[in-house]
Chain A
Amino acid sequence: MAGSGPFTVIGVDISPELGHGGESIIPVQVDLTTDDGVRQVASAVEAAKAPLVGLVNNAGITRDSRLVNMSDEDFGSVLEVNLGAAFRLSTAMADLMSDGGAIVNISSRSYLGNFGQFNYSMSKGALVGLTRAMAVSLAPHIRVNAVAPGLIDTEMTHQIPDEVLERAISNIPMARMGTPDEIANVVWFLLTPLSSYITGHVLVVGGGRSLS
């Protein structure tokens, strides 16, 4: 994204150490599962005094277990963070967004089904529904799309035992995990006029895993 022109990024609930290239990052640490948290983000947007042109809903947690063992708490917490937060934030930010703006929801390849992730699959699938509904209601002024990453090299996947990870990678035609930059590139594409005629779409970025 560096070199694409100066813009301000409001980073919500992320490390305040980010910031490179031509962009500035305003960190806002809030609880997105509360209305107050969303209000704080809206305040930060208004305080930035710049047009809001993009929103990326990236907050997500996992609490995996087989359906028969899944607790009410594990079910509810995943839904709140992965879906409730995105719904609240998107609804609030859509009112502040400039004409021509774009929203990108980070879903997951798990929305196609993934063993032991009933709650996670449901939340990421519901995010696809949110994407479509908002794409319909906000068109033609604001575009809304989703990215569904597969196995990506992140802190979350570093928790997976080696033998499990190796087995997972063996099912990926590209024979490796994806990188955060590879997801960011697709998000960037969907945020910018490069994708000006795309809305309501889900781009699966999983190295071909969905085919194998």
Chain B
Amino acid sequence: MNIHRASPVGDDWGEVRAELTRGFEMARAAALAEQSFVFVVHHDDLLGKRGAGNAMVATGLLSAARTAALEGVRKGWAANVLAYDDESDPKIVTEWAERLAVDSLGVTGEIIRTGSSHLGKALP
């Protein structure tokens, strides 16, 4: 299954670039195999609450997934993002990630958010 979970990074350009590159490499491999993929990110990072490095990684992966989703439409593969927070049940996060990676039931270019910390906040 093509699931890339963003690793925490510092406010260091080298770390940010390396993490985004890992996401790119996974996505490209998935696209070449015409398979769906999922990026998993922490919701606080989408809002910039845990430092610039983590924020750049999370939002970069989200935008990239949206673009990949457009390219996967004709070939029948999907690209999505799963966001979790500190309250999310790890088993549910894993279940959602695997569901989206195997059969997203037509969902593509989307962000699925578990937990409740995203409620009432800016849309990513």
**Chain A contacts to B: CB under 8 angstroms:** 66-68, 70, 72, 75-76, 79-80, 83-84, 87-88, 91, 110-119, 121-137, 200
A135 vs B52: C-alpha distance in the bound complex, in angstroms?
10
Question: Is B55 interfacial (CB 8 A cutoff)?
Answer: yes
> Which of B16, B21, B59, B63 lies at the interface centre, i.e. has the most chain A CB atoms within 10 A of its CB?
B63
Which residues B32-66 have CB closer than 8 A to chain A?
A: 32, 45-49, 51-52, 54-64, 66
Number of interface residues of B (CB under 8 A): 38
Q: Is the CB of B13 within 8 A of A88?
A: yes
- Counted as pairs of residues, one from A and one from B, with CB atoms less than 8 Å apart, the total is 133
Closest residue of chain A to B64, judged by CB?
A122
A123 vs B61: C-alpha distance in the bound complex, in angstroms?
9
Q: Is the CB of B28 within 8 A of A70?
A: yes
Question: Which of B13, B47, B59 is A87 in contact with, Cβ under 8 Å?
Answer: B13
Q: Is the CB of A133 within 8 A of B71?
A: no
Which residues B1-46 have CB closer than 8 A to chain A?
A: 11, 13, 16-17, 20-21, 23-24, 27-28, 31-32, 45-46
Chain B residues near A112 (CB, 8 Å)?
Answer: 63, 66
Q: Is the CB of A200 within 8 A of B59?
A: no
CB pairs A–B below 8 angstroms (25 shown): A67-B27, A67-B71, A68-B28, A80-B17, A83-B56, A83-B60, A113-B69, A118-B24, A121-B67, A122-B24, A122-B63, A122-B64, A123-B60, A125-B66, A126-B16, A126-B55, A126-B59, A127-B56, A129-B58, A130-B56, A132-B46, A133-B51, A133-B52, A133-B54, A133-B56
